[in-house]
Every structure is written in structure tokens, then in C-alpha cells.
Amino acid sequence: MSRSIDPSALPGAAHRLRATWLAIVLGVCIATPAFAAGNTPSALAIGRPPTAAEVAAWNIDVRPDFQGLPKGSGSASNGADIFEAKCAACHGSFAESNSVFPPIAGGVTAKDIETGRVANLATPGYPQRTTLMKIDHVSTLWDFIRRAMPYPNPKSLAPDEVYAIVAYLLSLNGVVAEDFVLDQDNIAEVDKRMPNRNGMRHDHGMGRVDGTPDVKSVACMHDCIATPQVHSALPDSERGTNGNLADQNRLYGPLRGQGKPTPPEAAQ
């Protein structure tokens, strides 16, 4: 058997709070023409459509077909100066540092640029997979730098600065010349020289808008690899630079941070 609750029997503070909210709701409903016309609460005139300028401020992604790429240009030589001032603290002067973040440049040969497949990706003993060894489109580099870099102040780079930095990074691996000027008109041609342009799968829908999403993957149930094969390693000279990485990783999952190198005297 149920019974109704007399609001006057509620504690004083709770009763006042209930009365306040009731007054607000009734005020909104009475003052809203949509409610008076019998519409549902979802049809109430709350909020407004975003303006074209507001949408443009958020819609800054650059696709592999370079849709969304803003106009601009930047030289590799100018990019070297910008990189030194705003990027080298984390990535090193020639984008090869492995101290704070993994290196961006390195590991690419002229043959890789010709074939579009980076041979060192298939070399288990190669010490580190750099950014330019892996990505297949210039747009990936351009878009990430624009929206996420530099680390302390993302989205602070002007389009011309991003063009210059990208040109500089590509020049470090011989994709473009040291005096090359990258712009919105020639970037598609540069894309055809990316070292790993033919080394990525596209049938899972992540690299092409007409691809098929990979939703049919089946977990391995027999003859599985017991231990993942690690193809990258942190050089001994950098172990311990940022503390004991083994203590900074979660205790679950496939990845484990390397510990500090053992001093020679302690190993004896």
C-alpha cells in the first residue's frame, strides 16, 4: 500500500529547496511559448545553433586528401629556426632526440623514398621507430603539429610556421631539399614521396574515407605468439634520464617500462 508524502512534513531546508526548483520549473514552462503550445521539453527554445565562425574555429582537421588545409607556405630553412626555438627542447635540434619524446626523424633511406616502404620497419634489431618511418601522409604530420604543438602552448603556431616546420622535418630525411618551400599547392606532390606511403594498410577504413572498418577481428585461440616481439628499444644511454620508467607504467597490459641501468659496481 502506498501513500503520498506531505511536502510540509519535509525538513525545512529540503522543503525550501523543493519549492525553489518548483518555482523555477514553472517559471520556465509558463514563460516558454513552445511549452504553452503543448510541445515536449526537447522542443523548448534552449541554446542556439553555432555560428559559421564558431564551427570554423573547431573544424581544423586536415584529411589525407588535404581537405581542410589552410593556405600558406614555409621554407625548410626557416623551419629549422622555428624548430630550434619552439620544438628542440623536447625533440632535439635535429628531431632525433630520444630523451623526452621518441625521435621524429631518422631511419629512412633514399631507397625507402623511392619504393614507399621503410625497410627498417622490418628490421627487428633497429633501435627505434621514428615518426617519419611510420606515417604515410604529410597531412598526419601537418595536422598534429598544428593542433597539438608546441607542447606547452598548442594551437599557437601560425599556418606558415607549420608549413615551415613540416618542410624542415621532411628535409631531415631527404624527402625535400634543404631550401624547399612547402605550400598548399605542392604538398600533394610531396605526399607522393613519403617514405612509408605504401607501407600502411588501408582496408580497415582508418586511412581512407571509403575503407571498410575492421570489426571482424577474431581473437587468437591457438598457435598464438606467447610473447610479443619488441622491435624498438630505448638506448642504454637514455635509460634513467627521466627516472625509473619501470615504476611509471601500469601493472597491466603488454607494455613495461625499462628500469634504470645497473651500475657496473652493483652488477659485480
In DSSP terms, which residues pair with 182 in a beta bridge?
74
Most confident of 34-43, 54-63, 81-90: 81-90
- pLDDT of residue 24 exceeding 70, the answer is no
User: Per residue in 153-212, pLDDT tens?
Assistant: 999 999 999 999 999 999 999 999 999 999 999 999 999 999 999 998 766 555 555 656
Q: How confident is the model over 83-96, as a mean pLDDT?
A: 92
**Alpha-carbon gap, residue 219 to 222, rounded angstroms:** 9
Q: How confident is the model over 75-100, as a mean pLDDT?
A: 91
What is each CA distance from 235 to 116, 119, 238, 246, in whole angstroms? 27, 20, 6, 15
Higher pLDDT, 152 or 100: 152
Average pLDDT, the chain: 78
- pLDDT of residue 255 exceeding 90, the answer is no
| Residue 182 DSSP symbol | E
Q: How confident is the model over 95-124, as a mean pLDDT?
A: 90
Q: pLDDT band for position 147 (50/70/90)?
A: very high
Higher pLDDT, 60 or 222: 60
User: Which among 156, 114, 109 has a CA at the least distance from the CA of 130?
Assistant: 109
pLDDT for 47 equals 86
pLDDT for 235 equals 73
pLDDT for 2 equals 42
Of the candidate ranges 116-120, 224-228, 240-244, the one whose mean pLDDT is the lowest: 224-228
In DSSP terms, which residues pair with 33 in a beta bridge?
none
pLDDT for 35 equals 42
Higher pLDDT, 16 or 66: 66
Q: Could you tell me the three cell numbers for 107?
A: 631511419
- List the domain boundaries for the chain: 12-43, 66-191
Of the candidate ranges 32-36, 46-50, 253-257, 263-267, the one whose mean pLDDT is the lowest: 32-36
Structural element, H or E, at residue 75: strand 73-75
pLDDT for 57 equals 84
CA angle, 234 as apex, 225 and 230 as ends, to 5°?
10
Of the candidate ranges 5-9, 133-137, 159-163, 202-206, the one whose mean pLDDT is the lowest: 5-9
In DSSP terms, which residues pair with 73 in a beta bridge?
183
Structural element, H or E, at residue 29: helix 12-31
**Alpha-carbon gap, residue 68 to 143, rounded angstroms:** 10
CA angle, 28 as apex, 23 and 30 as ends, to 5°?
90
pLDDT for 139 equals 96
Protein fold of 66-191 = Cytochrome Bc1 Complex; Chain D, domain 2 (1.10.760)
pLDDT for 163 equals 98
**Do 128 and 232 touch, CB atoms closer than 8 A?**
yes
Instruction: Tally the residues of the chain.
Output: 268
pLDDT for 11 equals 44
**Do 95 and 103 touch, CB atoms closer than 8 A?**
yes
What is the torsional sign of CA 242, 247, 252, 258? Answer: positive
Q: pLDDT band for position 114 (50/70/90)?
A: very high
